[in-house]
Amino acid sequence: GAGPGDPDLLTVKASRLIREVDVIVYDRLVAKPILELIPDSTEKIFAGKRASNHYMPQEDINNLLVDLARVGKKVMRLKGGDPFVFGRGGEEALHLVRHGIPFEVVPGITSSAGCAAYAGIPLTHRGLAQGVRFVTGHSKGDEPLLLDWRSLADPDTTLVVYMGMTNVQEIADNLIANGLAPETPVAILNMGTRPQQRTLITSLVAMPNAVSEGNFKGATLFVIGRVVTLADELSWFSESLNR
């Protein structure tokens, strides 16, 4: 796991292994400053993906990892955030197991935790949120989102939506239809933990328009719930950049 973007959020282990492997297969969400840590002598293979646009299909990535390992190379599969949180790392690890390839998993700071912290939003906070739910806002092809909307529409829980840009209207409509108040605070976190980080505070009912008018590019998360109200007081990252 490469973490959410800030190279200082790499784990010590990930930073060490970047300098020790023979080849790195990396995703689109791995930040440029992290890629710049890779030695010139290390082979780099881009396997980036975005919604409905796979530079390299998942099956090809799985097979690539096996092929590289079988010729004796020490391979790193470098993913943004944490490989086992909406990173399809489990699928790739299972493919290695089924082909007899030994591996280890190096966790990373998942983008929900890192980006929310840099925006000044605790995902849980006494009196505001008793828990947090992580869901994906993206489904395969044009299929509708098969989520338990009634369960997710809980005012006492923070909801973090990964990859929700394409289906933002569906997300807002379903949460409101299942009882979550239209004025529920929402934070749209774009390129979190990076110098170009943007945080837009809005409401659930206004979220689709905010997305369409915001011209967001790159990694974007939605944080939905009362904890978002703390951002005004706890936001620190943008101020620290200007010191």
Active site residues: 27, 49
The two structure tokens encoding residue 111? 């983008």
* Residue pair 119/199 in contact by the 8 Å Cβ criterion: yes
Nearest to 186 by CA among 210, 170, 163: 210
DSSP string, 106-144: -----HHHHHHHHTT--SSBTTTBSEEEEEE---STTPP
User: What dihedral angle (degrees, nearest 10) is formed by the CA atoms of 238, 162, 201, 205?
Assistant: 170
Rounded distance, CA 102 to CA 124, Å? Answer: 37
Q: What does the DSSP 8-state code read for residue 6? A: -
